[in-house]
Amino acid sequence: MTVSAPSVGDRAAVDFASLLSTRASRMNASAIREILKITQQPDVISFAGGLPAPELFPLEDVRRAADTVLTKYGPSALQYSTTEGHLPLREWIANRAGITPGHVQIVTGSQQGLDLLGKILINEGDVVLVEAPTYLGALQSFQPYGPQYVEVPTDEHGIDTDALEGVLRANQAKFLYAIPNFQNPTGRTLSLERRRRLLELTAQYGVLVLEDDPYGKLRFTGEELPNLYELGLEMVGGDPDRNHVIYSSSFSKTLVPGLRDAWVQAAKPIIEKLVQAKQGADLHTPTLNQMIIAELVEDVLPRQIKTVKQAYGVRARDMVARIREFLPAEVEHTTPEGGMFLWMTLPGEIDTQPLLAQAVERKVAFVPGSPFYALGGGHNTMRLSYSSATPTQIETGIRALGETIRAAME
Amino acid sequence: MTVSAPSVGDRAAVDFASLLSTRASRMNASAIREILKITQQPDVISFAGGLPAPELFPLEDVRRAADTVLTKYGPSALQYSTTEGHLPLREWIANRAGITPGHVQIVTGSQQGLDLLGKILINEGDVVLVEAPTYLGALQSFQPYGPQYVEVPTDEHGIDTDALEGVLRANQAKFLYAIPNFQNPTGRTLSLERRRRLLELTAQYGVLVLEDDPYGKLRFTGEELPNLYELGLEMVGGDPDRNHVIYSSSFSKTLVPGLRDAWVQAAKPIIEKLVQAKQGADLHTPTLNQMIIAELVEDVLPRQIKTVKQAYGVRARDMVARIREFLPAEVEHTTPEGGMFLWMTLPGEIDTQPLLAQAVERKVAFVPGSPFYALGGGHNTMRLSYSSATPTQIETGIRALGETIRAAME
């Protein structure tokens, strides 16, 4: 092939758009991100974001831990480190899960774990099963790799496992992406019976399960349930290399998000590929940050989990009470047992996208539910976050939301 | 399609390998990483790694900066932050480059910049032009996206621009990946005349230039040359949105690598897509780390650059002197003007891969040059790093290397 070159004088502006990959054309600005821009007016009460409560951050503990690790490790705390992650942190995670550090990969936030798993698993056109609705950020991570999404219906107990069987029979799926605890966006929790059934079914059909569990430790009511990962391990006699569940969790919701420390637990063939993928993606998660987290996991983390779940429990109950007080009876809502979110379903004729503008006029904001559906739909749904709201904001905000919805219903 | 399910009792071990993407099959454990494992015996003098000198890290400044930003920003230093990056840091970078913060994306180490640029630019089969040899880590970042590499020959002044013209004519390339300053692995620097010619040619053929410049500030001898990015900006009258050079640099080699803070400068259509790619890849670079770096750029960074380049200059001159003293005259070596590496070419009959084992027996290690060639070759080359070596290590190590090479030549 010979490429003809225009003369130097002819040089036109570079057409950057024509040089982008087809993969890039699958990427879009996050719908939520655009929504958050609208809602970030100073006098608007926003239930739209999903920010952990900053006033609960263990700021002084982080300060002390940073100081401690700089003394304890010296320049090593600031040097390049291994791709797999800081060994004491991986050991702590592995010990709690009954696995080895070789089954644990530290990642730069759960989001990186989702991206790298998408990268090593998804071929263009592969079927990925997702809950309807599901976490928008996961869709954003998987999307560049060109999956074909198939939705699994959900109800108040999470994934409908009867429906799942039909979906598995009708599709040769690569993996099922699930958030069993206090799901983002719905706040729902998958029942124990369904957890077992989901694992049996996926194992039978040779479909991996990607369990995303950022909120699992933040249960403020009800009984703790075993993770899919734990149940999957049980099913194969405790052998992590035969567990078909890949587990992702994070220190973002229990300690702080800004250090970007999370991890993936999986069978060695998955972890080994993940290490290679991560090496190409960012070499390793920042050394200092991993050491800070490792310094906090023994004492600060358990205390912090107690504080956070107690606070979120109060806020969730408060928001649910105000919803019952101020919202039309036709509005359905979930009652979360943990986590940061609840979900509302409005009468069918209301579209929550235009409703948002009306709500912002009344100085309250939420996230319309539609972007959480991989295949669209959910136009009459919305997500509310209570994690960083004060009692006054909850009262005033839900009252204003009630007025907005009533006006729209008329 | 209907998928047949075996009965529950039939369940076999999960065949993870068969579930991996074809993209995953393009990833491999880094050759260097495997080599480093061999060379990490405690009594071996290793010139193999590419670690910045840890004894020069501004440990106390980082400690103070961490403390300062936790006070100054409070919980915001530990909260989620914007994908684009910490604005004061982007402003500082933009001001120095004569561009706007909208042309700057903060990334989690240069490696992430390379990965995300590969992700948004490379379609499977796209021609990517690379120097021969080139930085191995870049190949690792691009590789999963399935590029077709075409090598551009280099000599002691870097990329041979006469040869480049032929390469551009013969291939419809997407971008040229170049490290003009103190290249990894060779330590060579692209001459000013060739910089201009390279830009003219690539602009003529509509080929982007990805300039990787982690070492640019670490010049210890000779005259500073303008970056390709700066020259590219000049060519289009200072309009960053018409510059066909994408620039990547890092604080890893000038401040510390363990915080993983680097950046990309490019035209807005590239940055906008990069933001979307980064959002899916890790949401944002750790907040605290960006704030720490921003705290250090005014006072500590210039002082640190002086310290580091002075030290590396001494080490480089020392190593070159010992090479001339202890190595056979047949061995060719580069004489770097900055950075961390030099490159040696041995007589053609010597293969540096088996030579490494013989060198390790004599308690010295290097990296064989072959993995740095995208298309193979360079069997008689090696990379040596002087950045973290003491005078004694340099004397003893180069003497042992000389003995190893002489023994192999006999």
Tell me the shortest Cα–Cα distance from B406 to chain A, in angstroms.
34
Angle at A184 between CA A262 and CA A159, to 5 degrees: 110
Q: Determine whether the interchain pair B203/A11 forms a contact, defined as Cβ–Cβ distance below 8 Å.
A: yes
Listing DSSP states for A130-181 in one string gives: EEES--HHHHHHHGGG--EEEEEEEETTEE-HHHHHHHHHH--EEEEEE--S
**Chain segment B169-184, per-residue pLDDT in tens:** 999 999 999 999 999 9
Tell me the shortest Cα–Cα distance from A82 to chain B, in angstroms.
10
φ/ψ of residue B229, rounded to 5: -60, -45
Nearest by CB to A79, which of B6, B51, B143?
A: B51
**Chain segment A211-252, per-residue pLDDT in tens:** 999 999 999 999 999 999 999 999 999 999 999 999 999 999
Q: Residue A97 is encoded by which pair of tokens? A: 């899960």
Report whether pLDDT(B87) > 50: yes
Give the pLDDT of residue A10: 46
Nearest by CB to B27, which of A206, A280, A282?
A: A280
Q: In a 3-state reduction of DSSP, which class is residue B244? A: coil
| Mean predicted confidence (pLDDT) in A116-140 | 97
Nearest CA in chain B to A114: B281
Nearest by CB to B75, which of A6, A54, A273?
A: A54
Q: Which has the closest alpha carbon to B148: B114, B119, B172?
A: B172
Please, which pLDDT band fits residue B36 given cuts at 50, 70 and 90?
Answer: confident
Nearest CA in chain A to B236: A13
Query: Chain B contacts of A57, Cβ < 8 Å?
Result: 75, 78-79
Domain boundaries, chain B: 27-56+302-409, 79-297
Q: Determine whether the interchain pair A273/B79 forms a contact, defined as Cβ–Cβ distance below 8 Å.
A: no
Give the pLDDT of residue A12: 54
HSE (CB half, 13 Å, CA atoms) of A275?
A: 22
User: What is the assigned CATH class of domain B27-56+302-409?
Assistant: alpha beta
Q: Residue B243 is encoded by which pair of tokens? A: 């510059």
**Chain segment B178-201, per-residue pLDDT in tens:** 999 999 999 999 999 999 999 999
Q: Determine whether the interchain pair B119/A289 forms a contact, defined as Cβ–Cβ distance below 8 Å.
A: no
Give the pLDDT of residue B41: 78
Q: Which of A113-117, A176-180, B10-14, B350-354 has the lowest mean pLDDT?
A: B10-14
Q: Determine whether the interchain pair B121/A172 forms a contact, defined as Cβ–Cβ distance below 8 Å.
A: no
Nearest by CB to B288, which of A14, A172, A258?
A: A258
Please state the length of chain B: 410
CATH number of this structure's domain B79-297: 3.40.640.10
Q: Determine whether the interchain pair B281/A120 forms a contact, defined as Cβ–Cβ distance below 8 Å.
A: no
By the 10 Å C-beta count (0-12 exposed, 13-18 middle, 19+ buried), B287 is classed as buried
Please, which pLDDT band fits residue A294 given cuts at 50, 70 and 90?
Answer: very high
What number of C-beta contacts closer than 8 Å exist between A and B? 298
Mean of per-residue pLDDT scores for chain B? 94
Query: Chain A contacts of B253, Cβ < 8 Å?
Result: none
Which segments of B40-109 does DSSP mark as H helices, in order?
59-73, 87-97
Nearest by CB to B115, which of A145, A258, A281?
A: A281
Nearest CA in chain A to B67: A63
Angle at B314 between CA B309 and CA B315, to 5 degrees: 95
Q: Determine whether the interchain pair B257/A170 forms a contact, defined as Cβ–Cβ distance below 8 Å.
A: no
* Strand order through the sheet with A367-368: A332-333, A341-345, A381-385, A367-368
Q: Residue A252 is encoded by which pair of tokens? A: 């973002």
- Could you give the ipTM of this predicted complex? 0.95
Nearest CA in chain B to A81: B258
Token pair 């007589």 in the structure block, residue: B347
Please, which pLDDT band fits residue A331 given cuts at 50, 70 and 90?
Answer: very high
Other C-beta atoms lying within 10 Å of the C-beta of residue B339 = 30
Helix axis angle for A391-409 and A300-326, nearest 10°, is 40
Nearest CA in chain B to A284: B260
Listing DSSP states for A247-266 in one string gives: EEEESTTTT-STT--EEEE-
Tell me the shortest Cα–Cα distance from B244 to chain A, in angstroms.
7
φ/ψ of residue A263, rounded to 5: -150, 165
Mean of per-residue pLDDT scores for chain A? 94
Q: Determine whether the interchain pair B21/A123 forms a contact, defined as Cβ–Cβ distance below 8 Å.
A: yes
Question: What fold does the segment set A29-50+302-409 form as a domain?
Answer: Aspartate Aminotransferase, domain 1 (3.90.1150)
Q: In a 3-state reduction of DSSP, which class is residue B265? A: strand
Give the pLDDT of residue A81: 94
Nearest CA in chain A to B141: A280
Helix axis angle for B228-235 and B192-204, nearest 10°, is 50
Please, which pLDDT band fits residue B377 given cuts at 50, 70 and 90?
Answer: very high
| Mean predicted confidence (pLDDT) in A270-281 | 96
Query: Chain B contacts of A243, Cβ < 8 Å?
Result: 14
| Cis geometry, peptide bond prior to residue B52 (ω within 30 degrees of 0) | no
Nearest by CB to A27, which of B115, B121, B277?
A: B277
Report whether pLDDT(B68) > 50: yes
HSE (CB half, 13 Å, CA atoms) of A2?
A: 2
- Structural element, H or E, at residue A365: strand A364-365
Report whether pLDDT(B60) > 70: yes
| Mean predicted confidence (pLDDT) in B43-53 | 93
Report whether pLDDT(A30) > 80: no
φ/ψ of residue B33, rounded to 5: -55, -45
Q: Yes or no: say if B39 and B365 are a contact pair by the CB < 8 Å rule.
A: yes
Please, which pLDDT band fits residue B4 given cuts at 50, 70 and 90?
Answer: low
Q: Determine whether the interchain pair A200/B8 forms a contact, defined as Cβ–Cβ distance below 8 Å.
A: yes
Q: Determine whether the interchain pair B286/A174 forms a contact, defined as Cβ–Cβ distance below 8 Å.
A: no
Q: Residue A138 is encoded by which pair of tokens? A: 């996961």
By the 10 Å C-beta count (0-12 exposed, 13-18 middle, 19+ buried), B107 is classed as buried
Q: Residue B354 is encoded by which pair of tokens? A: 């088996």
Nearest CA in chain A to B175: A19
Q: In a 3-state reduction of DSSP, which class is residue A224? A: coil
Query: Chain B contacts of A206, Cβ < 8 Å?
Result: 14-15
- Structural element, H or E, at residue B312: helix B300-326
* Strand order through the sheet with A158-159: A104-107, A262-265, A245-250, A208-212, A173-178, A127-132, A148-155, A158-159
**Chain segment A354-398, per-residue pLDDT in tens:** 999 999 999 999 999 999 999 999 999 999 999 999 999 999 999
The C-alpha atoms of residue B232 and residue B250 are separated, in whole angstroms, by 20
Nearest CA in chain A to B206: A14
Q: Which residues contact A301 (CB under 8 A, 6 or more apart)?
A: A251, A254, A255
| CA B92 remoteness from chain centre | 22
Q: Which residues contact B392 (CB under 8 A, 6 or more apart)?
A: none
Report whether pLDDT(A45) > 70: yes
Tell me the shortest Cα–Cα distance from B280 to chain A, in angstroms.
4
Q: Determine whether the interchain pair B280/A123 forms a contact, defined as Cβ–Cβ distance below 8 Å.
A: no
Query: Chain B contacts of A256, Cβ < 8 Å?
Result: 78-79
Nearest by CB to A23, which of B29, B57, B119?
A: B119
Please, which pLDDT band fits residue A8 given cuts at 50, 70 and 90?
Answer: very low
Q: Which of B141, B260, B284, B287 best tests the A interface by mutation, with the highest count of A CBs <10 A?
A: B260
φ/ψ of residue B10, rounded to 5: -75, -5
The C-alpha atoms of residue B380 and residue B131 are separated, in whole angstroms, by 17
**Chain segment B247-261, per-residue pLDDT in tens:** 999 999 999 999 999
Listing DSSP states for B216-243 in one string gives: TT-B-SS-----HHHHHHHHTTT-GGG-
Tell me the shortest Cα–Cα distance from A337 to chain B, in angstroms.
24
HSE (CB half, 13 Å, CA atoms) of A374?
A: 24
Which segments of B107-256 does DSSP mark as H helices, in order?
110-121, 136-142, 161-170, 192-204, 228-235
Nearest CA in chain B to A269: B16
The DSSP output letter for A386 is: -
* Ramachandran class of A376: left when φ > 0, alpha when ψ lies in -120 to 50, beta otherwise: left
Tell me the shortest Cα–Cα distance from A331 to chain B, in angstroms.
31
Nearest by CB to A109, which of B2, B203, B283?
A: B283
Query: Chain A contacts of B276, Cβ < 8 Å?
Result: 24, 27-30
- Structural element, H or E, at residue B127: strand B127-132
Please, which pLDDT band fits residue B2 given cuts at 50, 70 and 90?
Answer: low
User: What is the assigned CATH class of domain A87-279?
Assistant: alpha beta
Give the pLDDT of residue B318: 98
The C-alpha atoms of residue A24 and residue B116 are separated, in whole angstroms, by 10
Name residue A156's amino acid.
E
**Chain segment B298-345, per-residue pLDDT in tens:** 999 999 999 999 999 999 999 999 999 999 999 999 999 999 999 999
Tell me the shortest Cα–Cα distance from A327 to chain B, in angstroms.
31
Other C-beta atoms lying within 10 Å of the C-beta of residue B383 = 27
Give the pLDDT of residue B42: 81
Nearest CA in chain B to A83: B33
**Chain segment B264-304, per-residue pLDDT in tens:** 999 999 999 999 999 999 999 999 999 999 999 999 999 99
Other C-beta atoms lying within 10 Å of the C-beta of residue B171 = 18
Q: Determine whether the interchain pair B260/A283 forms a contact, defined as Cβ–Cβ distance below 8 Å.
A: yes
Q: Residue A245 is encoded by which pair of tokens? A: 């569940």
Nearest CA in chain B to A197: B8
The C-alpha atoms of residue A175 and residue A246 are separated, in whole angstroms, by 10
**Chain segment A181-210, per-residue pLDDT in tens:** 999 999 999 999 999 999 999 999 999 999
The C-alpha atoms of residue A162 and residue A205 are separated, in whole angstroms, by 14
φ/ψ of residue B383, rounded to 5: -110, 135
Query: Chain B contacts of A281, Cβ < 8 Å?
Result: 111-112, 115, 141, 281
